[in-house]
Amino acid sequence: MTVDAKTHPLNSLGFAKSPADTRVVVAMSGGVDSSVVAAQLAEEGYDVVGVTLQLYDHGAALAKKGACCAGRDIHDARRVAQEMGFPHYVLDYENIFKDAVIDEFADSYLAGATPVPCIRCNERVKFKDLLATAKDLEADCMATGHYIQRKMGENGAELHSAADANRDQSYFLFSTTQEQLDYLRFPLGHLPSKAETRALAAKFGLPVADKPDSQDICFVPDGNYAAIIEKLRPGAAEPGDIVDVDGNVLGQHKGVLHYTVGQRRGLGIGGLADPLYVVKLDVEAKHVIVGPKEMLATRVVPVREINWLGDEDLTSRKEWHVMVKVRSTRPPRDAIIRPISATEAEVELVVPEEGVSPGQACVFYDPDSSRIFGGGWIWKGN
Residues serving a catalytic function are 121, 218
The three-state DSSP-derived secondary structure of 22-86 is CEEEEECCCCHHHHHHHHHHHHCCCEEEEEEEECCCCHHHHHCCCCCCCHHHHHHHHHHHHHHCC
Q: Terminal CA-to-CA distance of the chain, rounded, Å?
A: 54
Please check whether residue 240 is in contact with residue 252, taking contact to mean a CB–CB distance below 8 angstroms: yes
User: What does the alpha-carbon distance between residue 255 and residue 239 come to, in Å, rounded to a whole number?
Assistant: 5
Pick from 323, 326, 328: nearest CA to 302? 326
Please check whether residue 298 is in contact with residue 330, taking contact to mean a CB–CB distance below 8 angstroms: no
CA 57 vs CA 69, 186, 322: distances in Å: 9, 28, 41
User: What does the alpha-carbon distance between residue 338 and residue 231 come to, in Å, rounded to a whole number?
Assistant: 41
Torsions phi, psi for 346 (to 5 deg): -110, 130
Please check whether residue 236 is in contact with residue 281, taking contact to mean a CB–CB distance below 8 angstroms: no
Residues contacting 273, CB < 8 A, separation 6+? none
Please check whether residue 233 is in contact with residue 225, taking contact to mean a CB–CB distance below 8 angstroms: no
Residue 181: CB atoms within 10 A of its CB come to 18
- Residue 65, classified by CB atoms within 10 Å of its CB into exposed (0-12), middle (13-18) or buried (19+), is middle
Identify the three-state secondary structure at position 267: coil
Task: Write down the H helix ranges in 233-355.
Answer: none
Please check whether residue 196 is in contact with residue 346, taking contact to mean a CB–CB distance below 8 angstroms: no
Residue 264: CB atoms within 10 A of its CB come to 12
Please check whether residue 122 is in contact with residue 55, taking contact to mean a CB–CB distance below 8 angstroms: no
